[in-house]
Structure 1
Amino acid sequence: MVIRATVQHRFLLHFRPFLSQCPSAHSVSSLQNLGQVVREEVEAKNYVKIPDLFISLESCQNSNPFSFFSSFPQNVQVQIVDEILQSFIPIRPRSKPQLAYSYLLSYTLQSSHPFPLALAILQRTLRSGCLPVLQTRVLLSSAWLERRCLSQSVDDILLQMQTIGYTPDCGTCNYLLSSLCAVDQLPEAVKVLNGMGGAGCIPDSNSYGTVIGAMSRVRKTAEAQDLLKQMVVQYGLTPGQGILVKLLAALRANREIWNAVEIIEFLEKEGNSVGFESYELVIEGCLEKCEYVLAAKVATGMTERGFIPYIAVRQKIIEGLCSFLNDIAGRSSHGLWQSNAARGS
């Protein structure tokens, strides 16, 4: 609870500069409590007026204006929040309710029963084109992990959205994945990724890309390679070039250059395109390990697909091959001399 309180404080601070720039002509009086005004509009079902109330800074510095929901039964909370979300859909510009979405999501995630309501709010927020504030990732991850500690499966938690009239989708799951990765909960992110299908959310390239990118960042290359192969073989997805570069860079940093070459060959075999940067990165990794023959092999495949390695890289490959061949010739000559000397003796 201490962590949640700290995050909530930072959450509120995050909006102060933004709110201070808003026009104050229609702002809520400093003598009034914004939460009370919001409650009055909720009780009157004037939900479309709620976004206009969030232009006052003074009355929402130290508390969430939706905190009064805690006095309502859970089923009433769900009904009211659903009505609020539906009333926000036709509002234009679509970003107008952004603050309302954020405070509503923050309150719900810190409540005793965050799911499935928080996922519904998150879904509507994302579909409106808005993004929750960064602190939401911490709150979401914390609430999710607490629920998972109760031995609830990923698909069970996601499918609970259906009980309140919503359907889990890839966008919502992808935000959950990125939140878990942002707080280094990679094993849980993999479980969510693998459990999405059971909830009817087939992972897309962004789903896998988020987790693969996070694993590459901490050089968990074996797990990242497995996920890349899974997304290509099981779902027929194409990894983005940016994610592929991150994985190959991690393999190069780990000096696992043979695995990097294997990844390129695997993608080519599966009919997936590999970009110029990926080829160059792997070739340079080969040269760093003095794997000149391997570098030449990758460069040949690169050229066949219309990419020409940089001239400096080509020169290093040629020089390395020449040195390699000279070493072989030298060892052969030395071996022949020793053989002849043995016969002469």
Structure 2
Amino acid sequence: MAAAKLHLSVRPFCLSFVSSARMLEDSVKVVVEAKRYQQIPDVLNSSEVHNVNPFLFLSTVRENTRVQIVGEILQSFTSIRPRSRPGIAYSSLLSYTLQSSNPLPLALAILQRTLRSGCLPVPQTHLLLSTAWLERRSKSHSVSSILLEMQDIGYTPDCGTCNYLISSLCKVDQIDEAINVLKGMTRAGCIPDLDSYGSLIDNLSELRMTSAIIETLNEMVVRYGLSPRKETLVKALAAIRANKDIWRAVEVIELLQNEGVHVGFECYELVLEGCLENRQFILAGKFVIEMTKRGFIPYIRCRQKVVEGLANIGERELANAVRQRFAELRS
């Protein structure tokens, strides 16, 4: 009996929800058919129904017409203030498009407008976008050709859109494809920025992919003249050190120095500690002298280990040079 009562009480609620959802979709459809697109945010923001997509009716129109309608909607939203007011509309449009039969490049255009409005897509967008992207790429389309398809509907690829795509691919462990996107951006006329490289290097560092980290840093610094953020550089060097590739970590420091990139004390100390961990005392001695030339004095524990390590392997001349250097600096 109790179960029967519960069933009867749930049924009216379900019917009410379905009815409300249908009314919301009908309201949006009426506004769209009348081309009163700027009213869409008000309709959605005033609704208490949030678990349905009000743009499902677009599935009933031809693809070309659907693309045209969505393009007109996006264009109409550009004059709305505050810019974040169409946030729910952007989210619904993006979710609907990514789950449609041919999501790209329209989804990229919606994503671009969403990001430029200051809104962030819902978390599941990362998975939906990655899935749509990989499916298109599986059909032998190049990165640049997919990005440039945005021009066919009146949009131009930009860093914000590409960076979100890179982040999405990294979140689903598609690091190689994220690297492909980074390399393909330039051919699409979109020059990578700090966020493009920072996001990728952070993820490469988590996976401790030494060669990819160094290659990406080199491209970032040498080719584009960008200086890695402190946090990104620390993560990268920590990953290289964790892999015991300490010689390569020193080479990264040298590269950055030669390119005029500021390298902070934390990075030097991190690499020096790696030299000591791997008992590379000669390398540590030479590195610590270069370190002091930059005005950085290692912690006393590291200073002692360098001198003692050199003495123990018979490198007394270098040990004395290091000790003398510390004395000159009164440390």
Cα deviations by residue, 1:162-199 (Å, 9 ceiling, x for unpaired): 11111111111111111111111011111111111111
Residue 38 to residue 249, structure 1, CA distance change in 2 (3 Å): same
Counterpart check, 1:219 vs 2:208: yes
Counterpart check, 1:266 vs 2:259: no
After TM superposition, give the deviation of residue 154 of structure 1 in Å. 0.7
Match of 1:109 in 2: 98
Cα deviations by residue, 1:136-157 (Å, 9 ceiling, x for unpaired): 0100000000000111111111
Match of 1:55 in 2: 45
Match of 1:67 in 2: 56
Match of 2:14 in 1: none
Counterpart check, 1:43 vs 2:33: yes
Secondary structure at the counterpart of residue 49 of structure 2: helix
2:163 aligns with one of 167, 174, 199 = 174
Cα deviations by residue, 1:103-141 (Å, 9 ceiling, x for unpaired): 110110111111111110011111111111111010000
Residue 139 to residue 32, structure 1, CA distance change in 2 (3 Å): closer
Cα deviations by residue, 1:16-38 (Å, 9 ceiling, x for unpaired): xxxxxxxxxxxxx9485211111
2:188 aligns with one of 177, 196, 199 = 199
TM-score, with length taken from structure 1 = 0.82
Kindly report the root-mean-square deviation, in angstroms, between the aligned alpha carbons of the 2 structures.
Answer: 1.9
Counterpart check, 1:84 vs 2:73: yes
Secondary structure at the counterpart of residue 291 of structure 2: helix
Structure 2 spans left out of the alignment, 5+ residues: 1-18, 318-331
After TM superposition, give the deviation of residue 72 of structure 1 in Å. 1.3
Q: Is 2:182–2:196's contact at 8 Å kept on the other side of the alignment?
A: yes
How far apart, CA to CA, are the structure 2 residues paired with 1:202 and 1:32? 44
Match of 2:320 in 1: none
Q: Is 2:185–2:191's contact at 8 Å kept on the other side of the alignment?
A: yes
Q: Is 2:28–2:54's contact at 8 Å kept on the other side of the alignment?
A: yes
Q: Is 1:33–1:59's contact at 8 Å kept on the other side of the alignment?
A: no
How far apart, CA to CA, are the structure 2 residues paired with 1:220 and 1:259? 12
Amino acid at match of 2:39: K
After TM superposition, give the deviation of residue 87 of structure 1 in Å. 1.6
Residue correspondence of structure 1 range 264-303 to structure 2 within 5 A: 264-303=253-292
Residue 251 to residue 116, structure 1, CA distance change in 2 (3 Å): same
Match of 1:136 in 2: 125
Amino acid at match of 2:201: I
Residue 118 to residue 32, structure 1, CA distance change in 2 (3 Å): closer
Structure 1 ranges of 4+ moved more than 6 A = none
Secondary structure at the counterpart of residue 314 of structure 1: helix
Q: State the percentage of identical aligned residues.
A: 61
How far apart, CA to CA, are the structure 2 residues paired with 1:57 and 1:302? 62
After TM superposition, give the deviation of residue 97 of structure 1 in Å. 1.4
